[in-house]
Amino acid sequence: MARPRTVSDSAILAAAANAVAASGPAGVTLAQIGAGVGLTAAALLRRFGSKDQLLLALARHSAEVVPARLAAAGSVAALVDAFTAMAASVRDSAEFANHLAFLLMDLSVPEFQQVARQYTTAVEAAIGTVLRDAAAAGEIHADRVDPGLAHAIHAAYNGALITWGMAGAAPGPADQVRDQLLRLVRPLLR
Per-residue pLDDT of the chain (190 residues; tens, 9 = 90+): 445 578 999 999 999 999 999 999 999 999 999 999 999 999 999 999 999 999 999 999 999 999 999 999 989 999 999 999 999 999 888 999 999 999 999 999 999 999 999 999 999 999 999 999 999 999 999 888 888 999 999 999 999 999 999 887 678 899 999 999 999 999 999 8
In a domain, 175, yes or no: yes
Instruction: Name every residue whose Cβ is closer than 8 Å to that of residue 145 and which is 6 or more positions away in sequence.
Output: 131, 132, 135, 188
- Amino acid letter, 23: S
Cα distance between residue 166 and residue 169, in whole Å: 9
In a domain, 38, yes or no: no
User: What's the pLDDT score for residue 36?
Assistant: 95
Phi-psi region of 75 (alpha: psi -120 to 50; beta: other; left: phi over 0): beta
Quote the number of domains for the chain: 1
In a domain, 21, yes or no: no
In a domain, 5, yes or no: no
In a domain, 166, yes or no: yes
Length of the chain: 190
**Residue 153 near residue 185, CB atoms below 8 Å:** yes
The residue segments making up the domain with residue 79 are 55-188
